[in-house]
Amino acid sequence: MFEVQNTRSVALVLSLFAIFGIAKYLVRKASNKNGHLRFPPGPPRLPIVGNALEATNSDKPWVTYKKWADVYGDIIYCRMLNQDVIIINSEKVAKDLLEKRSSNYSDRPFLNTTEIFGFMFNVLFLRYGDKWRQHRRLLHDKLRTATALSYRPSQMHKTHQLLIDMLETPENFAYHLQAMMISTIMCLTYGYETARWRDPLVATIEEAIGNAHEVTTPEASAVLDALPLLLHIPSWFPGAGFKRRARRSREMFSDMVEKPFQYTKSHMYSDKAVKCIVSDLLATIKDEDNHDEFEKVIKSVASTLVVGGSETTMSTLLDFVLAMILFPDVQKRAQTEIDSVVGSDRLPNFDDRSSLPYVEAVLRESHRWHPVAPLGVAHAAVDDDIYEGYRIPKGATVVPNVWAMSQNEAKYPNPSEFMPERFFTADGKLNDDMIHYAFGFGRRACPGQHVANAGVWAAIVSLLAIFKFTKAKDDQGKGIGIEPQWTTGIAIHPRAFPCHIEPRSPDITFEKLHQMISHFT
């Protein structure tokens, strides 16, 4: 994060670390009540930096942590500069700590990068306490299973728009997937209809989120968290380019929070008003004394929905498309199932869902194969704790390595293969592995998972019903090989890959598709 560019800066940074490290060690030693217990096992630590170099050396820290897990076990202690970090590599330990002891593990570590990049409006990063509870109550009310059902018509409507866009310009598939997911959540949250192509608000949201994803992880924030003094150096100072990026990020997030909110507020009593989450919430606080305070909460909840609900679902769909190209037999089997249940004269609807178990398994495998949030979102320990005889210090950052859970060979043989079959029992029924760990743990678990699963299912089943996904071809007509790569950060997605998308049948013309959509029930 902090780009050290010359030897003097390095010397200065290291001396400061040494002073702060020793001071923190002495304070901790004096106040520690479980000091006689050992930390969980972990890799050897260097003086001052601890394990920070190894953890930040790769753009896939989850893979590094999984390698550590193979040596040291399911619960690991490491140190990122002056920060204690506990890495959890199994579902069992994650449940034991983050769920069964959730009153101690529902806090978030404070990351300086979230603050300076303007991401603190996001409920995801709120510390555990009354303010978080107030936000979380509203989120729960608007995202719980029963309410989520009322979003389905809108989710299907946006999915049908996606089918039209894909038929028109299949080469822009990644843009269409992203635009659909942002458009859906903007409509549900703000009643705002995005333009079909290059909507300015969509562009701001994409840029703001993309920018923040890489820097809002404990690994990326480690230097600034250890040495907050660096926040005060001027932006022209060598290595302080992050300050200029942070300023731009704050401006974009401010637009993202304010503009759509003001749109809803100014339209909610007009003839064109569309019922949405923000207008519902604003109506409930109309006569409240501390109206301005409530308005801030609504703004924060609404923009969190957009951040939480767009990039994650789009990334899952990109994983799905990539998997369909790399694993054509899975695609064929899912389409055979859809054809047998839905036929070719209509589009799938939510009533078909329970009759399409293989498609359901494709959805689960899309969450498992390359989890969108490979290190979940870090929790933090409120107080000292002891687990299996090991000491977990108060304030430790607790990282669930979702990647390691998803690649557990004992549970998922050949984990790098996309195999929906792994979700079936021997007698051909869907098993009960819903990949809940991809959505986090305990009191902080994703409140949007029902909405997410409905939206992603609708897109997967509809795309499979209409389109065939294959490798793009070179000049000689040979399929172009794909070496899949993923982005890095708190939420990841496959980097651009070549792909050929065409209708499964020559009967699928614009006219036919519009007809199917107009007859949709």
Annotated binding site for heme: 446
Amino acid at 148: A
How many residues sit close enough to ligand HEM to count as binding (CB under 6 A)?
Answer: 27
* Residue 170 contacts residue 287 (beta carbons within 8 Å): no
3-class SS shares of the chain: helix, strand, coil, % to 5: 55, 10, 35
State yes or no: residue 187 binds ligand HEM (CB under 6 A): no
State yes or no: residue 312 binds ligand HEM (CB under 6 A): yes
* Residue 491 contacts residue 312 (beta carbons within 8 Å): yes
State yes or no: residue 372 binds ligand HEM (CB under 6 A): yes
List 182, 381, 438, 461, residue binding ligand HEM (CB under 6 A): 438
List 444, 459, 488, 494, residue binding ligand HEM (CB under 6 A): 444
Query: What is the SS3 assignment for 424?
Result: strand
Query: What is the SS3 assignment for 13?
Result: helix
In order of 2, 58, 86, 119, 276, the CA distances from 51 in angstroms are: 17, 12, 12, 26, 47
Could you tell me the smallest distance in angstroms from the CB atom of residue 146 to ligand HEM? Answer: 15
Query: What is the SS3 assignment for 448?
Result: coil
List 121, 412, 441, 486, residue binding ligand HEM (CB under 6 A): 441
State yes or no: residue 403 binds ligand HEM (CB under 6 A): no
Q: Could you give the CA distance from residue 448 to residue 445 in angstroms, rounded to a whole number?
A: 9
Q: Could you give the CA distance from residue 169 to residue 176 in angstroms, rounded to a whole number?
A: 9
State yes or no: residue 454 binds ligand HEM (CB under 6 A): no
Residue closer to ligand HEM by CB (options 141, 502) is 141
Residues 79-138, interacting with ligand HEM (CB under 6 A):
123-124, 136
Region of 81 on the Ramachandran plot (φ > 0 left; ψ -120 to 50 alpha; else beta)? left
Stretch that binds ligand HEM, among 24-32, 244-252, 304-312, 501-509 (CB under 6 A): 304-312
In order of 9, 202, 394, 509, the CA distances from 310 in angstroms are: 39, 10, 34, 29
Helix and strand totals (H; E) in the chain: 19, 8
Specify the DSSP class assigned to residue 10: H
Q: Could you give the CA distance from residue 396 to residue 381 in angstroms, rounded to a whole number?
A: 5
Stretch that binds ligand HEM, among 206-214, 219-227, 306-314, 387-395 (CB under 6 A): 306-314
Question: What kind and span of H or E run contains 469?
Answer: strand 467-470
List 239, 309, 393, 494, residue binding ligand HEM (CB under 6 A): 309
Stretch that binds ligand HEM, among 21-29, 202-210, 433-441, 497-505 (CB under 6 A): 433-441
State yes or no: residue 448 binds ligand HEM (CB under 6 A): yes
Task: Estimate to the nearest angstrom the gap between the alpha carbon of 162 and the chain centroid.
Answer: 21
Stretch that binds ligand HEM, among 8-16, 281-289, 385-393, 439-447 (CB under 6 A): 439-447
Stretch that binds ligand HEM, among 4-12, 17-25, 282-290, 448-456 (CB under 6 A): 448-456
State yes or no: residue 446 binds ligand HEM (CB under 6 A): yes
State yes or no: residue 43 binds ligand HEM (CB under 6 A): no
Q: What are the residues whose beta carbons fall under 8 Å from the beta carbon of 436, sequence distance 6 or more?
A: 445, 449
Residue closer to ligand HEM by CB (options 324, 399) is 399
Q: Could you give the CA distance from residue 510 to residue 464 in angstroms, rounded to a whole number?
A: 17
Stretch that binds ligand HEM, among 273-281, 322-330, 368-376, 390-398 (CB under 6 A): 368-376
State yes or no: residue 304 binds ligand HEM (CB under 6 A): yes
DSSP character string of 62-102? HHHHHHHHHHH-SEEEEEETTEEEEEE-SHHHHIIIIITTT
* Residue 362 contacts residue 320 (beta carbons within 8 Å): yes
List 61, 218, 440, 489, residue binding ligand HEM (CB under 6 A): 440
Q: Could you give the CA distance from residue 201 to residue 186 in angstroms, rounded to a whole number?
A: 10
Q: What are the residues whose beta carbons fall under 8 Å from the beta carbon of 463, sequence distance 6 or more?
A: 162, 163, 166, 321, 469
List 221, 316, 331, 397, residue binding ligand HEM (CB under 6 A): 316
List 40, 118, 374, 376, residue binding ligand HEM (CB under 6 A): 376
Q: Could you give the CA distance from residue 499 to residue 482 in angstroms, rounded to a whole number?
A: 9
Angle at 335 between CA 501 and CA 468, to 5 degrees: 10
State yes or no: residue 313 binds ligand HEM (CB under 6 A): yes
List 305, 356, 363, 464, residue binding ligand HEM (CB under 6 A): 305
Residue closer to ligand HEM by CB (options 324, 446) is 446
Task: Estimate to the nearest angstrom the gap between the alpha carbon of 343 and the chain centroid.
Answer: 34
Residue closer to ligand HEM by CB (options 456, 499) is 456
Stretch that binds ligand HEM, among 41-49, 83-91, 249-257, 308-316 (CB under 6 A): 308-316
Stretch that binds ligand HEM, among 40-48, 77-85, 165-173, 303-311 (CB under 6 A): 303-311
Could you tell me the smallest distance in angstroms from the CB atom of residue 115 to ligand HEM? Answer: 16
State yes or no: residue 404 binds ligand HEM (CB under 6 A): no
Could you tell me the smallest distance in angstroms from the CB atom of residue 298 to ligand HEM? Answer: 14
Q: Could you give the CA distance from residue 503 to residue 170 in angstroms, rounded to a whole number?
A: 10
State yes or no: residue 452 binds ligand HEM (CB under 6 A): yes
List 50, 191, 447, 489, residue binding ligand HEM (CB under 6 A): 447
List 373, 405, 460, 508, residue binding ligand HEM (CB under 6 A): 373
Residue ranges that bind ligand HEM, judged by CB under 6 A: 123-124, 136, 139, 143, 304-305, 308-309, 312-313, 316, 372-373, 376-377, 438-441, 444-448, 451-452
